[in-house]
Amino acid sequence: MNQRGAADGCGEPQGFRRHGGAPFTVSVVLPAGGTGERTGLPTPKQFCTVLSRPLISYTIQAFERLSWIQHIVVVVAGESNALMTDIIQRFQHTKVRVVSGGATRHRSIFNGVRALDAGKSGATPDVVIIHDAVRPFVEEDFLFEIAMAAKENGASGAIRPLVSTVIATSSEDYLDHSLERSKYRASEMPQGFLYHVIYQAYQKCSEVDFDFGTECLQLALQHTGTQAKLIEGPPTLWKVTYKRDLAAAESIIKESLCGSACIISDGSERSREFGQCLQRVMGSFDMVSILTVPTGKMGTELDVLPDVIGDASCLSKEWNFIQLSVNGSGLSEVEETVRALEAANRALLHPIVVVWVRFDTSDGLSVMETGARPLLLVELASAAKLQNILLYGIHLHFSEKDAGWSDGSVKRLAELTYTLIHDRNASLAGQMLHA
């Protein structure tokens, strides 16, 4: 998922760099004890799977990738402790600690805040950000704004314009009055607090506050006199509440994952030329792509990356891979790419797509149609799928007598390739499609 604040990919927002590094410490509390009744699903929504990964893991990653976030406390119902611990281990989250929640939301949040006490975590943070576990699309720049406003004002919170008019009803269920929508805002997450402000607020809470309160900012105002700075947040702050929201979340994640691709040439002139044409067409789909070639097989007239297999930086980026081969099998090179991705553990957090595009320039029957390579592709794809790598094949035939390929054939290939990368349809993995 692209984040607005990561200008150079180092994980530290521009604001912190302008201030010469992180000027204070920030930790996060993620309450995740909800039962998810409104989704109508047997699994609480925070643990529902989106692209082979629990929703809460995406939310954790949104914070964990930021170098200026020190600790993340996830608060879950006691019966979910083992499940949450397994998620942390499986997806290698390193900044996370799990604590048991209470009977209500505020009791759970207070448990998370107390877990950040110096006596338990080793360093009490200056600022605590509280965020819902089922809001995975929080942006880095906005988190920075919340953290800075909390440091300066004691508390801060996200707001959004009201979508619907709020009305009050009488005891007989008739309209009593309506509120002027322009004067009101919807309170959202994240919310930020100086540690001592939110800690003291919870220490002073009554049983009524703990049992029926819903607004952390109100508790800070009521019990510590701290007025929160309110900041209008982006539309991406929406919360997964209903079953349909899970489908929407998957669509957003797919869009973010199909935004870039690494086109790997086999080193031949035709492969390079076609790769350049494909690169231009993919740009019309808002997909950023780069062309790589095996080291030593190309001249210096192109600004290209070295061989993707030999350059770990290529494998560390959130790219998909399009591997081109002309006439020769090329399947061994595809296998090499898959093995390199597996070794780099690139598919841990989301499925990676590898599309093998094989150009056949023979005038007779395609070797792909007569040989055993389709079976080998299926076998390779089946093994790769177990590692969360989706491998597809595309066969494109054109005659050597032709001057080249048509714009239409390049466009058809680009559209098919983009669809495979976007949809990530596991049932099509191992298929050799024809463009």
Q: 234-250, pLDDT tens digit by residue?
A: 998 999 999 999 999 99
Angle of CA points 96, 188, 113, to nearest 5°:
35
363 CB-contact burial (10 Å; exposed 0-12 / middle 13-18 / buried 19+) = exposed
Q: What is the pLDDT of residue 354?
A: 95
Per-residue CA distances from 339 to 175, 332, 335 (Å): 65, 10, 6
Q: Which residue has the higher pLDDT, 48 or 344?
A: 48
Tokens of 304: 């290209």
What does DSSP say about strands 127-130 and 185-194: parallel, antiparallel, or unpaired?
A: antiparallel
Q: pLDDT band at residue 119, thresholds of 50, 70 and 90? A: low
Q: pLDDT band at residue 23, thresholds of 50, 70 and 90? A: confident
Look at residues 241, 231, 217 and name the one whose alpha carbon lies nearest to residue 159.
231
Q: What is the pLDDT of residue 214?
A: 80
Q: What is the pLDDT of residue 47?
A: 95
Residues 381-402 as b or e (16 or more Cβ within 10 Å = b): bebbbebbbbbbbbbbbbeeee
Mean pLDDT of the chain: 84
Q: What is the pLDDT of residue 33?
A: 84
User: Which secondary structure element, helix H or strand E, spans residue 152, and what is its range?
Assistant: helix 140-153
Tokens of 17: 């760099």
Separation between Cα atoms, residue 18 and residue 257, nearest integer Å: 30
- Summarize pLDDT for 284-314 with one digit per residue, the tens: 888 877 777 664 433 322 233 334 444 445 5
Separation between Cα atoms, residue 84 and residue 19, nearest integer Å: 36
Q: What is the pLDDT of residue 159?
A: 96
Give the position of tokens 């927002």. 13
Per-residue CA distances from 387 to 90, 116, 205, 246 (Å): 13, 35, 48, 24
Which residues, including other chains, have CB under 8 Å from residue 208's CB and lie 6 or more apart?
A: none
Q: What is the pLDDT of residue 68?
A: 94
Say if residues 222 and 183 touch (Cβ distance below 8 Å).
no
Instruction: Kindly report whether the global pTM for this prediction surpasses the value 0.85.
Output: no
Residues 10-20 as b or e (16 or more Cβ within 10 Å = b): eebbebbeeee
Q: pLDDT band at residue 227, thresholds of 50, 70 and 90? A: very high
For helices 407-423 and 269-283, angle between their N-to-C axes, nearest 10 degrees: 70
Q: What is the pLDDT of residue 183?
A: 87
Separation between Cα atoms, residue 147 and residue 66, nearest integer Å: 13
Q: What is the pLDDT of residue 122?
A: 58
* Greatest Cα pair distance in the chain: 84
Say if residues 325 and 358 touch (Cβ distance below 8 Å).
yes
Q: Which residue has the higher pLDDT, 35 or 417?
A: 417
310 phi, psi to nearest 5 deg: -90, 0
Separation between Cα atoms, residue 49 and residue 45, nearest integer Å: 9
Say if residues 123 and 131 touch (Cβ distance below 8 Å).
no
Tokens of 23: 């000027």
Q: Which amino acid is at 87?
A: I
Least confident of 25-29, 115-119, 182-186, 320-324: 115-119
Separation between Cα atoms, residue 392 and residue 371, nearest integer Å: 18
Look at residues 201, 235, 230, 243 and name the one whose alpha carbon lies nearest to residue 49.
243
Residue 127: DSSP 8-state: E
Q: Which ranges in 258-325 belong to alpha helices (H)?
A: 269-283, 312-316
Q: What is the pLDDT of residue 38?
A: 62
What does DSSP say about strands 320-326 and 260-264: parallel, antiparallel, or unpaired?
A: parallel
Look at residues 106, 107, 117, 54 and name the one whose alpha carbon lies nearest to residue 80.
54
Q: Which ranges in 344-424 belong to alpha helices (H)?
A: 367-370, 373-385, 407-423
Separation between Cα atoms, residue 70 and residue 242, nearest integer Å: 31
**Which domains does the chain carry?**
14-249 (3.90.550.10), 258-434 (3.40.50.720)
What is the average per-residue pLDDT within 131-147?
Answer: 95
- Summarize pLDDT for 389-425 with one digit per residue, the tens: 999 999 987 765 555 567 788 889 999 999 999 999 9
Tokens of 226: 């701290």
Say if residues 24 and 12 touch (Cβ distance below 8 Å).
no
